C-alpha cells in the first residue's frame, strides 16, 4: 500500500502557476515583506487550506537549523516525581510551539550517552536532563557543541552546567532535625544512587543535622544504593533486623519509602509506634497512607518551569549559557509518621 503523496509547496505552486518561493513566503506570512499581491496571497492561502498543506518540518529544520524540539532525559519516567516534571515541561514546551522527545535513561550512563547521541543527531534545539551521575564526558561534549542544556534535580558535579533543583541539603536537614527534636537518636537513612548530587546533598543534610545535635554518625545506619522501591524494601528489611533497631527511617525518595512501607508492614510493625519514617517527595497519596506520611515536598512546578525558561532563554538568545545554579526551597509537611520519643 503506497503512502499517498503529501501536499508540498511545489504541488501548490504548480496548481497555481506561481513559484515555490512565492508560496513559501505567503505561507510564512511574509507577503508584505516580499510584496506579494493580495490576490496571489489569498489564492495561495486558500489552496493551501484546501489541499490540507502541512509543512515538512524535516526540510524546514534542515534549512533553518532549528527544529522547535527539545530533548528530555530522565532516569525513570514512571517515577511519579519525574512523571510530574515531564508533564509540566511538555506543557510548557507545547505552549511555546516546541515538541519534546522524551528518553528514559534507566539510571544507566550508557543509555544516557546513546540518548544524547540520538538527540543531537535529531538536531534538537536544547536538552533538559537529570543526569545519571558519575561520568560527564558526554555532557561536556554536548556543551562543546554549544547545544543548550540545563540540568534538573541532579547537578553535574565536575562540569559547569545550568541547574535547577531543590535545596536537598536543607530539606534533608530539616527532616532529620525534626526527628531529633522528637527524641530520635538512632535514625537511619536509606539513600539513592551514591554519586548523584541529590543523594550527596540529602545524606549531607542528614549528617549535618545529626552533628549539630551532637549525635554520632553510625555508618551502619547509612544504607541503600538506588532510588527504587526494591532498594527501599531490602534496606528497610535489613535495618529492621539489626540488634538495636533504628527508631526512625529517613527515605530519600518516594519509591524508597514505598519499599520501606512494604518491609515494615511485612514485619507487622506499626508506624509511628514501632518505627517512624519521613520520605522525600510528597505524593498525592501521602496523606491517605495507613499512617499519613511526613514528607519533604519538592517544588516540581517551579523546577519544571524555571528549567524550561532557562533553556528557552538560551535557545532564543543563542548565547552561551550562564551556569546558573538555582536551588529552590523544599517544603516540610508534617503528618503522622513520626513518633515523639520520650527518654529519661
Partner DNA sequence: TATAGTTGCACAATCGTTTGCGCAATTATA
Partner DNA sequence: TATAATTGCGCAAACGATTGTGCAACTATA
Cell readout for 105 is 535513561
Q: Which is nearer to DNA, 34 or 285 (CB)?
A: 34
Question: Who contacts 237 (Cβ-Cβ below 8 Å, separation ≥6)?
Answer: 263, 266, 267
Name which position in 10, 14, 19, 54 contacts its own copies (CB under 8 A).
Answer: 54
Q: Which does 145 bind (CB under 5 to 8 A by kind): DNA, its own copies, none?
A: its own copies
Selected binder of its own copies within 45, 77, 159, 341 (CB under 8 A): 77
- The residue (of 62 and 334) whose beta carbon lies closer to its own copies is 62
When the beta carbons of 93 and 200 are compared against its own copies, the nearer one is 93
Give least dist CB 145 to DNA, A.
13
Least Å distance, CB 61 to DNA, is 8
Cβ atoms < 10 Å from Cβ of 237:
16
Q: What is the DSSP string of 217-255?
A: --GGGEE--SSSHHHHHHHHHHHHHSSS--SEEEESSHH
User: Residue 124 — φ and ψ, nearest 5°?
Assistant: -60, 155
Helix spans in 96-218 (H): 109-121, 137-144, 168-181, 197-212
Identify which range of 54-62, 129-137, 151-159, 272-280 contacts its own copies by CB under 8 A.
54-62
Phi, psi (rounded to 5 degrees) for 15:
-60, -30
Compute the least distance from the CB of residue 319 to its own copies, in Å: 6
Q: Select the residue interacting with its own copies from 46, 94, 108, 181 (CB under 8 A).
A: 94
Pick out residues in 27-56 that bind DNA (CB under 7 A). 27-28, 30, 34-37, 39-40, 53-56
62 binds its own copies (CB under 8 A): yes
Distance CA 136, CA 12 (A): 49
| Residue 187 binding its own copies, by CB under 8 A | no
CA torsion 238→197→327→335, rounded to 10°? -10
Which CB sits closer to DNA, 32 or 340? 32
**Max intra-chain CA distance, the chain:** 95
What whole-number distance in Å separates Cα of residue 149 and Cα of residue 6? 34
Instruction: Please select the residue that binds DNA; options are 15, 24, 185, 204, rule is CB under 7 A.
Output: 24
Give the helix/strand (H/E) hosting 13.
helix 9-16
Closest distance of CB 315 from DNA, Å: 16
Taking CB under 8 A as the criterion, the residue among 31, 103, 168, 298 binding its own copies is 103
Cα-based distances in Å from 46 to 6, 57, 169: 17, 21, 60
Question: CA 223 to CA 231: how far, in whole Å?
Answer: 10
Q: Which does 3 bind (CB under 5 to 8 A by kind): its own copies, DNA, none?
A: its own copies
Q: Least distance in Å: CB of 278 to DNA?
A: 51
Would you call 283 helix, strand, or coil by DSSP? coil
Least gap, CB of 146 to its own copies (angstroms) = 5
Residue 321 carries which DSSP code? P
With beta carbons less than 8 A apart as the criterion, state whether 162 and 151 touch.
Answer: yes
Query: Quick one: what does residue 115 bind among DNA, its own copies, none, with the CB cut-off 5 to 8 Å set by partner type?
Result: its own copies
> Which positions lie near its own copies, rule CB under 8 A?
1-4, 6, 52, 54-59, 61-62, 65, 67, 69, 76-78, 80, 83-84, 86-88, 90-91, 94, 99-104, 106, 111, 115, 117-123, 141, 144-146, 229, 255, 258, 261-262, 265, 283-285, 287-292, 318-320
> Which positions lie near DNA, rule CB under 7 A?
5-6, 8-10, 17-22, 24-25, 27-28, 30, 34-37, 39-40, 53-56, 59-60, 62-65
Amino acid at each position: 500500500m503506497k503512502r499517498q503523496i503529501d501536499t508540498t509547496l511545489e504541488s501548490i505552486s504548480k496548481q497555481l502557476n506561481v513559484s515555490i518561493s512565492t508560496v513559501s513566503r505567503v505561507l510564512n506570512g511574509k507577503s508584505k515583506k516580499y510584496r506579494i499581491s493580495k490576490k496571489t496571497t489569498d489564492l495561495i492561502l486558500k489552496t493551501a487550506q484546501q489541499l490540507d498543506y502541512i509543512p515538512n518540518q524535516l526540510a524546514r529544520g534542515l534549512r533553518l537549523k532549528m527544529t522547535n524540539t527539545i530533548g528530555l532525559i530522565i532516569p525513570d519516567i514512571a517515577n511519579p516525581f519525574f512523571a510530574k516534571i515531564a508533564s509540566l515541561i511538555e506543557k510548557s514546551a507545547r505552549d511555546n510551539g516546541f515538541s519534546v522527545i522524551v528518553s528514559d535513561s534507566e539510571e544507566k550512563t550508557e543509555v544516557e550517552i546513546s540518548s544524547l547521541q540520538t538527540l543531537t543527531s535529531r538536531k534538537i534545539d536544547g536538552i533538559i536532563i537529570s543526569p545519571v551521575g558519575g561520568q560527564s564526558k558526554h555532557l561536556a561534549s554536548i556543551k562543546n557543541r554549544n547545544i543548550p542544556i540545563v540540568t534538573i534535580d541532579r547537578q553535574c558535579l565536575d562540569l559547569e552546567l545550568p541547574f535547577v533543583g531543590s535545596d536537598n541539603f536543607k530539606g534533608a536537614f530539616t527532616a532529620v532535625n525534626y526527628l531529633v527534636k522528637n527524641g530520635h537518636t538512632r535514625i537511619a537513612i536509606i539513600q539513592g544512587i551514591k554519586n548523584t548530587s541529590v543523594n550527596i546533598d540529602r545524606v549531607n543534610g542528614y549528617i549535618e543535622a545529626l552533628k549539630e545535635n551532637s549525635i554520632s554518625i553510625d555508618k551502619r545506619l547509612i544504607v541503600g544504593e538506588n532510588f527504587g522501591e526494591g532498594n527501599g524494601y531490602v534496606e528497610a528489611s535489613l535495618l529492621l533486623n539489626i540488634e538495636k533497631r533504628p527508631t526512625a527511617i529517613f527515605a530519600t525518595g518516594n519509591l524508597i519509602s514505598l519499599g520501606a512501607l512494604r518491609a515494615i508492614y511485612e514485619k507487622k510493625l506499626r508506624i509511628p509506634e514501632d518505627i517512624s519514617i519521613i520520605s522525600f517527595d510528597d505524593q498525592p497519596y501521602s496523606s491517605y497512607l495507613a499512617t499519613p506520611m511526613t514528607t519533604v515536598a519538592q517544588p516540581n512546578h517551579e523546577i519544571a518551569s524555571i528549567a524550561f525558561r532557562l533553556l528557552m532563554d538560551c535557545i532564543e538568545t543563542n548565547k552561551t549559557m550562564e551556569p546558573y545554579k538555582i536551588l529552590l526551597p523544599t517544603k516540610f509537611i508534617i503528618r503522622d509518621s513520626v513518633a515523639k520519643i520520650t527518654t529519661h
